[in-house]
Structure 1
Amino acid sequence: MSPATPAPRLQKLAQFAMAACLGVMAVAVFVNVVLRYGFGSGVAASEELSRLLFVWMVFIGATAAYPVGEHMAFTSLIGLLKGRRTALRLATAVIRLLVVAAAALLAHGAWQQVAVGLDSHSVVLGYPTALLPLPAFLSALAIGVMALIELFKCKPLDLGHGVDVE
């Protein structure tokens, strides 16, 4: 893939977003610990902010991991199908359909939580609680679309590593 394509830029953006989330979380927790143990008081918003950023970081990471094949994989079956082209293509299609189905279920459930959270706000920071399930919805949508594209393009299953028994 050439640097001009959007995928490497999106990967870099995802890595930057995850690093920013982790950095802000680390600073918030560190400041809160120092204030609690050093001065007997803390910043109440630190916990809410850290929770929100952690959820976003996890789902950004999950979305970025999908196209490079870094999700957990059971490669034993694929290893057994190596050399059997038709069976491997069928297994790949079934796997992609299962990914799309799982993404649809996750997106549906997450969207229901987003709708519920629109009317309520977090206790300390006051942000809409819909921001907590929103990254799950967006991640499921993105992974589902990527899996559908791979399914329609009949892209061979790429696990991002050699097909070894795991």
Structure 2
Amino acid sequence: MKLAVRRAANMAMASCLALMALAVFVNVVLRYGFGSGIAASEEVSRLLFVWMVFIGATAAYPAGEHMAFTSLLIPLRAKPRAFAAVTVLVRLLVLTAAVMLAWGAWQQVSVSWDTHSVVLGYPAALLPLPALLCGAGIAVMAVLELVRGEPLDLGHGVEVE
């Protein structure tokens, strides 16, 4: 299941990147080659970039690919009780940050739902919506990790110098 979700997230990010690159490339060629451009290119690129970033942030969390201060945690491996306490603390901090992100994004979505983009006319709420979904997704994953009692993954240790 995790692999299928990760693969879908990677495909969504790749699609966003490909469409962004195509839109910008075509716009550059039209502007410099023919003196005209596609007005919607900037809006499409901005919207796709925001979605790509938040899809990536959501997909990176269960894979343990977010920034981690493993150099602070590695010495605690020898002390199981302290490591367990720090694990719970880290999960609670992640949960707090994710809820704050989702709450702020929800406020932006609710305020901007009746506003539309200038060129394409899509609801402006589509820009903060991926932040809301990202915050909610990470919060759910953090709660599941807390309930299951999963230890922190310190796989980043090889990257610490």
- TM over 0.5, shorter chain: yes
The answer for the alignment partner of 1:152 in structure 2 is 147
1:32 aligns with 2:31: no
The answer for the alignment partner of 1:113 in structure 2 is 108
The answer for the alignment partner of 1:19 in structure 2 is 14
The answer for the alignment partner of 1:43 in structure 2 is 38
Which range moved further: 140-149 or 75-84?
Answer: 75-84
Listed one character per residue, the Cα deviations across residues 50-107 of structure 1 (whole Å, up to 9, x for unaligned) are: 0000000000000000001000011111112121000000000000000000001110
Q: Give the ranges of 4+ consecutive aligned residues of structure 1 lying more than 4 Å apart after TM superposition.
A: none
**Match of residue 104, structure 1, among 80, 99, 103:** 99
The answer for the alignment partner of 1:53 in structure 2 is 48
Q: CA deviation at 1:164?
A: 5.9
Q: CA RMSD in A?
A: 1.1
Question: Alpha carbons of 1:39 and 1:164: their partners in 2 closer, same or farther (altered >3 Å)?
Answer: closer
Aligned residues: 161
- Aligned-residue sequence identity (percent) comes to 66
Q: Which amino acid aligns with 2:22?
A: V
Return the TM-score normalized by structure 1.
0.94
Q: CA deviation at 1:163?
A: 6.1
Q: Which amino acid aligns with 1:56?
A: W
Which range moved further: 143-152 or 154-163?
Answer: 154-163
Q: Which amino acid aligns with 1:113?
A: Q
Q: Which runs of 5+ in 2 are unaligned?
A: none
Question: Alpha carbons of 1:163 and 1:91: their partners in 2 closer, same or farther (altered >3 Å)?
Answer: farther
Question: Alpha carbons of 1:75 and 1:98: their partners in 2 closer, same or farther (altered >3 Å)?
Answer: same
